[in-house]
Structure 1
Amino acid sequence: MPRGKADGTEPRLGRTLAQAAKDLVDSRLADSDLSPSMPSRELSVSVRKLHRAFTATEVHRRGLG
């Protein structure tokens, strides 16, 4: 599959990744080092992939995808 092309599983994985990041952030709200890079490090994904996961979640929620 060409880089940057989504297959049928990406939206579902994006929602799962976004939820995992939300749960992680919620559990660490008091941490002074909380930043976008923290959940990406903890979940072993790039910050860019994390942003794409949240974007995919928003697109799906709005019925745009």
Structure 2
Amino acid sequence: MRRARLEGRHIGRQPIAVDREAIFCDRRRGQSLRQIARYHRISTATVRRVLASQSSAPQEQVA
């Protein structure tokens, strides 16, 4: 594993490919976390993580 890291290889599971915009849109429509998770076939923890990343991202100010 040390050699793989030194060579720049990725170690571990591949990241989950999710449609972040669709998740944000579903949440704005009022769907629950569980409903979103079922529709996108991901865990509720992943839905929470995606939504939390939106709130931590800097928002554009409209003047």
> What is the TM-score of this pair, normalised by structure 2?
0.50
Higher share in helix: 1
Q: Which has the larger radius of gyration?
A: 2
Greater RCO, 1 or 2 (C-alpha within 8 Å, sep 6+): 1
> What is the TM-score of this pair, normalised by structure 1?
0.49
